[in-house]
């Protein structure tokens, strides 16, 4: 299987219609990427790794180095999906030149095909600058977690008319600037649908709408690795319970000396 490309992803939406929705999941490690790769169109090395992997309180402290290390692991573990790496907070907002420096560093270090950044109109010039210089960009509007200190929390967006207008305008600005796709996160459904109809490039929803051109979830949330997940996450499994049960078995076998058994020990040849 040859790796998908950014233009192929972009072309999945033709004249406003996406026949088969795009499948995206987050991945942070090589093994995780191996398991997800064949089932996905895109793997996102999200800065959500701050909370999921590092136990940080938000995505704000995530560094370029973290993104580079995990991005490289995910590229090594995949051969089919387009790998997109998040630009972390503070690595791209100051200027389009700063964004290019950070994004080119990530692409060089990881071998990923594209970056994602948060923000709409304010980032449009940057998106165009990067795209024209060889770096495809995925946008991200609505609930943008890097703006938690401005938004005041992680609540759904687009409930007031002015907020809804801003989300639509942000997505349009990114689309016009050449973004190849736009994540819509935590937005009331009618606005997610409006954005999906209003822009030419595919929308990828998370807490948005089944009518988006694709969907994304944080893999650990979807697998049930975490107790507390946002309302918009569907838990497809309860991996945390499986891990606990398995570890319980191991611990009790160590304590009663039934592990290691005959099959796991080496004996001298007779």
Q: Where do contacts with Na ion occur on this chain (CB under 5 A)? A: 46-47, 86
Residue 239 CB, nearest approach to Na ion (Å):
21
Catalytic residue among 19, 65, 93, 185: 185
Active site residue 185: yes
Q: Which does 183 bind (CB under 5 to 8 A by kind): Na ion, ligand KIV, none?
A: ligand KIV
Q: Is 116 annotated as a binding residue?
A: yes
For ligand KIV, which is the closer residue by CB, 18 or 259? 18
Where on the phi/psi map is residue 111: left (φ > 0), alpha (ψ -120 to 50), or beta? left
- Interaction with ligand KIV in 190-209: which residues (CB under 6 A)? 206
Beta pairing class for 17-18 and 13-14: antiparallel
Q: Does 46 bind ligand KIV (CB under 6 A)?
A: yes
| Span from 44-52, 91-99, 247-255, 262-270 in contact with ligand KIV (CB under 6 A) | 44-52
Q: Does 216 bind ligand KIV (CB under 6 A)?
A: yes
Q: Does 218 bind ligand KIV (CB under 6 A)?
A: yes
Q: Given candidates 37, 47, 170, 194, which one binds ligand KIV under the rule CB under 6 A?
A: 47
Q: Does 86 bind ligand KIV (CB under 6 A)?
A: yes
For Na ion, which is the closer residue by CB, 122 or 251? 122
Residue 79 CB, nearest approach to Na ion (Å):
24
Q: Is 262 annotated as a binding residue?
A: no
Q: Which does 26 bind (CB under 5 to 8 A by kind): Na ion, ligand KIV, none?
A: ligand KIV
Q: Which residues contact 138 (CB under 8 A, 6 or more apart)?
A: 84, 114, 115, 116, 117, 179, 180, 181, 182, 183, 204
b/e map of 150-185 (b: 16 or more CB within 10 Å)? eeeeeebbbeeeebbebbbebbbbbbebbbbbbbbb
Q: Which does 206 bind (CB under 5 to 8 A by kind): Na ion, ligand KIV, none?
A: ligand KIV
Residue 134 CB, nearest approach to ligand KIV (Å):
23
Q: Does 37 bind ligand KIV (CB under 6 A)?
A: no
Contacting residues toward ligand KIV, per CB under 6 A: 26, 44, 46-48, 86, 183, 185, 206, 216, 218
Q: Which residues are annotated as a binding site?
A: 47-48, 86, 116, 118
- The residues assigned a catalytic role are 185
């Amino acid at each position: 299987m040859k790796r998908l490309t950014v233009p192929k992803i972009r072309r999945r939406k033709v004249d406003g219609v996406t026949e088969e929705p795009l499948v995206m999941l987050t991945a942070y490690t090589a093994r995780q990427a191996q398991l997800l790769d064949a089932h996905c169109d895109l793997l996102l090395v999200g800065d959500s790794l701050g909370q999921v992997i590092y136990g940080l309180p938000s995505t704000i402290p995530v560094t370029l180095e973290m993104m580079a290390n995990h991005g490289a692991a995910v590229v090594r573990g995949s051969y089919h999906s387009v790998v997109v790496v998040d630009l972390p907070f503070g690595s791209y907002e100051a200027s389009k030149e700063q964004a290019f420096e950070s994004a080119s560093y990530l692409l060089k270090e990881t071998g990923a095909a594209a970056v994602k950044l948060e923000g709409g109109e304010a980032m449009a010039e940057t998106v165009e600058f990067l795209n024209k210089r060889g770096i495809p960009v995925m946008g991200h509007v609505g609930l943008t977690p890097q703006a938690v200190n401005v938004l005041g929390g992680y609540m759904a967006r687009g409930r007031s008319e002015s907020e809804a207008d801003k989300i639509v305008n942000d997505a349009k600005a990114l689309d016009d600037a050449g973004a190849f796709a736009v994540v819509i996160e935590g937005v009331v459904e009618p606005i997610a649908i409006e954005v999906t109809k209003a822009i030419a490039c595919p929308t990828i929803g998370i807490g948005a709408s089944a009518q988006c051109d694709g969907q994304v979830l944080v893999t650990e949330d979807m697998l049930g690795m975490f107790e507390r997940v946002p309302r918009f996450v569907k838990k497809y499994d309860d991996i945390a319970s499986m891990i606990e049960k398995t570890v319980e078995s191991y611990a009790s076998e160590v304590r009663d000396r039934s592990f290691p058994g005959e099959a796991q020990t080496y004996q001298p040849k007779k």
